[in-house]
Structure 1
Amino acid sequence: MPSTRDSRDFWLLAILALLVLATGIGLRDPWPADEPRFVLVAKQMWESGDWWFPHRGQELYSDKPPLFFWLLGASYALVRNWTVAFLLPSLLAALGTLWLTFDLGRRLWSRRAGLWAAAAVLCAFQFAYQAKRAQIDPTVVFFITLAFYGLGRHLLLGPHWRWFWAGCFAAGLGVISKGVGFLALLALLPYAWMRWRDWQGLSAPAPRGAGRWALGAVAFLVAIGLWLGPMLWMALSDGDPAHRAYVDDLLFRQTATRYADAWHHTQPAWYFARVVAVSWLPFSLLLPWLFKPWREAWRMRDARVWLPLATFVLVVLFFSMSAGKRDMYILPALPMLALAAAPFLDGLLERRGVRRALFTLALLLGLGLLAAGVAALAGEPRFELKLEAGRGMPAGQDGVWWALAAMGAAITGAALWLQPRRAVALVAAMTAVLWCGWGLAIAPQLDGESSSRDLMREVRALAGPGTEVGLVAWREQNLLQARGPTMEFGFKRTPVQQWNAGVAWASQAPGTRVLFVREVDALADCLQRAGARHVGVANRRTWSLVRPDAVPADCHRLPESADSQKEAAAAQAEG
């Protein structure tokens, strides 16, 4: 039976998790870079009824498998409101990840250790940030954590073959949400070595009886086959060359080629060390104090500590070997690191140096936010001007800075009141203030520009209610937020190709059609000579409306240019 203290702490952590992760849902629309793309794909699936071949506008979208889009569609079916539905999969996945981390930690060591492991995950900045976004990463983190949980129930707490098979099945579901969903299965490598070296804490039988182990591979492939089998059958039997190209791009270019010969987001090999150090604060502050107990656990050959820790290392190494890196790639390794730390956290948090480090972080963050807010309210510092210019915010819109100042004051006040001796409560307060303030006060104020909602409303107001608007060099948020009759000319095509198609289309009915164009270098001269009407700035891009009858004759068919190809390549890199 859990103690009264542990039961109280469990519910406090559950309330904190729900408060941090759910606050702000329904108060903003999808933001770039990924959210509008994924919601647009899911919305088109819902409207078309084609759940097997995702589309972005008129083109097939082959960058990612479809499971996350299905989850978005299921959320919309439940609430029938995209502003609410688009964040529900991430919320539920994050809560599920925390529960799995807690429960595995509880079973491996104690209920209190499980609570510390889940708390370490929740309070890491990157986890909360990603959980409050409609990206695929929170979902794939859940499936990878579920897979590791299943393996852990068998390899460390078993034998439990059903959990082993369930973990392999979850890894397969991770693959059809994002190709790297298999990462939890890397745990089998250190497990085999530890079994060979006769480590303590391994409960599963030695690797014999190959049939049961092989069923894990079957479960993994069955999960993938739930999507891949029907999709391949349809793509290869319907004779549509676009479907064949979709299969080739998704299964080869977007997986093996993307990893082995990345064409975007290139970073140095040590990049993820910086991600762990900064993005996983405040948990990462404890890492220097963990080296000693981890070294002792190595000496004792404790597989309960070193199986998750070794898997964490393998995940980081896997992504480090690819030139293409983004900070969220290693997020699935966070619960594994927290589980490896779990049995030591209770003791570490009693140490004066650890409490002082956490106190210092909270105080510096609070003072930094307070200083930034006060500086912006009192004058016009460079960072304020840069944000206002980049976000298209009108000068004098001070709500964001008041919110930052209030958040900073609240965190600073909590630090001065709680002091280092109550550092755990201070971290909880800091986490609650930071993410509730973001969800309630900051994100809603930035939403009109960040989602392009205000821009597309202005476009419709200028074009008129019955005018067809053709999108040229568009982004996903423009099509998602478009109102009234809208046309687009392909996303992957270069701006010049889209312009040529758009001018030809608009010229067929110049009285009822207009072009909405992103101002890029390749089109600058024609936009100027056509007397393009400036609409606004959104997502750091400038947009104009062009009447087809004002386009000069020599701009009706522009030749392809290096600038246009560069713009198209940049758009694809973002995708």
Structure 2
Amino acid sequence: MKPPVPLSRARPLWLRDARIEMLLFGVFALLLLGLGLGLRDPWPSDEPRFALVARWMVEHGQWLFPHRGHELYPDKPPVFMWLQALAYFLTRSWRVAFLLPSLLAALGALALVYDLARRLWNHRSALLATATLLVTIHFTYQMRNAQIDPLLLGWMTLANYGLLRHLLLGPSWRWFAIGCFFAGLGVATKGVGVLALLMLVPYLIARRGHWRALALPAGGWRWAGGLALFLVPILGWLLPMLLVARADGDPQHAEYVQNILFGQTVHRYATPTGHIHSPFYFLGIIAFDWLPLSLLLPWALPAWWRRLKRRDARLLLPLGWIVLIVLFFSFSPGKRDVYILPALPMMALALAPLLPGVLRRRGVRLAVFALTLLLSATLAAAAALAIHHHPAWAVKIEQSLDARIWWLLLAIGVAGLVIVALTRVRHAPLGWLLFAGVLWGIYGLWGYPMLNGDRSARDVMLQARSIAGPQAEIGLLAWKEQNLLMAEGPVAEFGFLKPWPQQYVDAVAWLRQDASRRWIFSLDQAMGDCVDRQHAIHVGHANRREWWMFRADAVKPGCAPTDKGDQGGDEPP
């Protein structure tokens, strides 16, 4: 295969110079993904949990066994939290640090897709593929969040990049080793990182069938050596953890090892306890969450089929890998949309050679135009109706969100309608690009500060500290991760997974030890009928829950609550 044309001599897409195009696109991607960074705290359900674990690591130096408060947190390996802690050491700001790994993973994935598509095809195809990935709703939304899945996408895209550099553009044993290493790092981040190695399955099929555009590296020991590097990051985390757990003899550490190695991998895949969906669940995710990329599939599928019949391995490998990923997760009863998120970069890569032609088709432009118009009009109409007529559904939403959300949605909707009017059908893809910039820009710069107080629980925790005073201790009862994370001043907690009635007993005993200086901050349901609300203080509403504070004089003697209610366990992975 010929080496890629240098960027300085590449045929540009819109401007006169391909290098300027790449610079402007890089700035646009940074703004789209990064606007709002530092303007909000972690939001549920997952973000406060990981930030709390990372902060505990920084404050207590416990790096091998993650903690959520004083309890061990065995649901995920610690790599993501390590990176958040490292980001904190670099920035000294948790508001920046908790989102930084996701932002860097997103920018890295975009760069890798562009570079690989340019090497396989050309600059124009690569830039269109990268732009398509960037403005796909599922990608943008998830990569702006501080969850493990964006980082996993980054590692798996880097693993796929290394493997494809070797399998399609090689032989390059260095890139094969890099790909295997980052697949292993994906396992240490979240066990399913091993799925990156499934890229070898369509490669073997293509090699056996003598497909075109395929590298044919020889050397059995090098294959084995590369695959051995897959184990390096896994053992780099696993061996110290196992040695420490064995040396200290702590039964909690032994239980943690058992849970993280088996309970959160094989058991959760085979017998999940939540998010049960049909085997066809991911088809709906591809159809709707992957908009507007999914609008291109009716035109892409026949084109892919024609190229596959011509035995083009450049398409077989990414498309075959995507099919294997979707099938793997479809076999498990438990499914979440983020499970197939790492397939998105490879989908964009497979679309790359088709995009210059597909995006010129009037049907495609009509579809993208209709999507932009429909979404903009819906946002504008719904917001205007909520502002002026206050229907029941709007009042219900306002119970959980700031009423100013309607003005934000109205601004996005009106801006989208203006963009639609200016770009029309002829420039519909550009219209969606601009609309995505407006949508995520307004959401980050206006929406983050507006919603942060309630969604992060910052407001109720500041109010709790105001009620208790600067020196008083606050005990957290039936707390969520965001309550402990946002708490100000001295606090105590009585376990997270412990049943609420037991937490209540422990909290009341703690309260009575120093009744003059201690308060309990509690979820409404956890108090049951055992707290006299006439002597308690309603702190506020946050995260769709009501929170109270009380002192010893509000406790009814001899009463023990029995309602376990919303026990607050973790979300499935």
Q: Same fold (TM over 0.5)?
A: yes
Deviation at 1:202, TM superposition (A): 1.3
Q: Aligned AA for 2:266? A: A
- Residue 383 of structure 2 corresponds to 373
Aligned to 2:558: 554
Say whether 1:127 aligns with 2:134.
no
Deviation at 1:5, TM superposition (A): 4.7
Aligned partners of 1:373 and 1:404 also within 8 Å: yes
Match of 1:301 in 2: 311
Q: Is 1:325 matched up with 2:324? A: no
Q: Is the 8 A contact 2:478 2:503 kept in 1?
A: yes
- How much does 1:379 deviate? 2.3
Is 1:26 the counterpart of 2:34? The answer is: no
Q: Within the alignment, does 1:512 sit opposite 2:491 as a pair?
A: no
Alpha-carbon deviation of 1:304?
A: 0.2
Tell me the residue number matched to 1:136: 148
* Residue in structure 2 matched with residue 2 of structure 1 by the alignment: 10
Aligned partner of 1:75 in structure 2 is 87
8 Å CA contact retained: 2:110, 2:134: yes
Q: 1:94-133 deviations in whole A, cap 9, x for unaligned? A: 0000000111111111111111221111011111111111
Output the CA distance in 2 between the equivalents of 1:529 and 1:433: 46
Identity of aligned residues (%): 50
Alignment equivalent of 1:492, drawn from 497, 500, 503: 497
**1:571 to partner: Cα distance:** 2.2
Residue of structure 2 equivalent to 1:406: 411
CA-atom RMSD in angstroms? 1.5
Q: Tell me the CA shift for residue 71 of structure 1.
A: 0.7
SS of 1:553's equivalent in the other structure is coil
More divergent stretch after superposition (375-384 vs 261-270):
375-384
Which amino acid in the other structure matches residue 546 of structure 1?
Answer: F
Structure 2 CA distance, aligned partners of 1:203 and 1:190? Answer: 13
Residue segments in structure 1 that go unaligned for 5+ positions in a row:
none
Letter in 2 for 1:33: S
2:3 aligns to what? none
C-alpha contact (below 8 Å) 1:200/1:301 kept by paired residues: yes
Aligned runs of 1:520-535 on 2, under 5 Å? 520=525, 523-528=527-532, 531-535=535-539
Residue 493 of structure 2 aligns to which amino acid in structure 1? E
- Name the residue aligned to 2:451: 446
Take 1:379 and 1:287, find their aligned partners in 2: how far apart are those partners? 40
Q: Please tell me the residue identity of whatever aligns with 1:56.
A: R
Q: How does 1:112-123 map to 2 (within 5 A)?
A: 112-123=124-135
The answer to whether the 8 A contact 1:23-1:439 is kept is: yes
Give the counterpart of 1:283 among 276, 290, 293. 293
* Aligned partner of residue 63 in structure 1, secondary structure: coil
What stretches of structure 2 of length at least 5 have no aligned partner? 1-8
The amino acid across from 1:447 in the alignment is N
CA shift, 1:533, in A, is 2.4
Partner of 2:4: none
Residue in structure 2 matched with residue 355 of structure 1 by the alignment? 365
Amino acid corresponding to residue 567 of structure 1 in structure 2: D
CA shift digits 1:246-272 (9 cap, x unpaired): 111111101111111111121211111
Partners of 2:278 and 2:460 in 1: how far apart? 37
Alpha-carbon distance in structure 2 between the residues aligned to 1:548 and 1:430: 55
CA distance in 1, matches of 2:173, 2:60: 41
Q: Contact 2:532/2:556 (CA < 8 Å) preserved in 1? A: no
How many angstroms apart in 2 are the aligned matches of 1:177 and 1:133?
16
Q: CA deviation at 1:236?
A: 1.2
SS in 2 for 1:390: coil
**CA distance, structure 2, for counterparts of residue 389 and residue 70 of structure 1:** 36
CA distance in 2, matches of 1:346, 1:58: 55
The 1-side partners of 2:112 and 2:99 are apart by 20
State how far apart, in whole Å, the 1-side matches of 2:371 and 2:20 are.
26
Distance 1:177 1:105 in 2: 26
In structure 2, the partner of 1:344 is: 354
Q: Distance in 1 between matches of 2:280 and 2:571?
A: 22
**1:329, distance to aligned residue in structure 2 (A):** 1.2
Separation of aligned partners in 2, 1:112 and 1:302: 20
TM-score (norm 1): 0.95
1:461 and 1:384 map into 2 onto residues whose CA distance is: 31
Are 1:313 and 2:311 an aligned pair? no
The 8 Å contact of residues 16 and 428 in structure 1, kept in 2 or not, is answered as no
Whole-angstrom distance in 2 between the partners of 1:368 and 1:301: 44
Question: Shift of the alpha carbon at 1:381?
Answer: 2.1
Cα deviations by residue, 1:227-257 (Å, 9 ceiling, x for unpaired): 1111111111111111111111111101111
- Aligned-pair CA distance for 1:573: 3.8
Alignment partners' CA distance in 2, 1:67 and 1:427: 35
> Is 2:114 the partner of 1:106?
no
1:88 and 2:100 correspond: yes
The structure carrying a bigger helix percent of its residues is 1
Indicate yes or no: 2:481 matched with 1:476: yes
Q: Name the CA shift for 1:410/1:573 in 2 (closer, same or farther; >3 Å).
A: closer
2-structure distance, mates of 1:254, 1:138: 19
- Partner residue, 1:464: 469
Post-superposition offset of 1:8: 3.7
Residue 571 (structure 1) aligns with: 569
After superposition, the Cα gap between the structure-2 partners of 1:529 and 1:442, relative to the gap in structure 1 and judged at 3 Å, is closer
User: What does the per-residue CA deviation read over 1:61-94, in whole Å, with 9 as the maximum and x for residues that have no partner?
Assistant: 1111111111101111111011111111111110
Out of 218, 232, 253, the position equivalent to 1:243 is 253
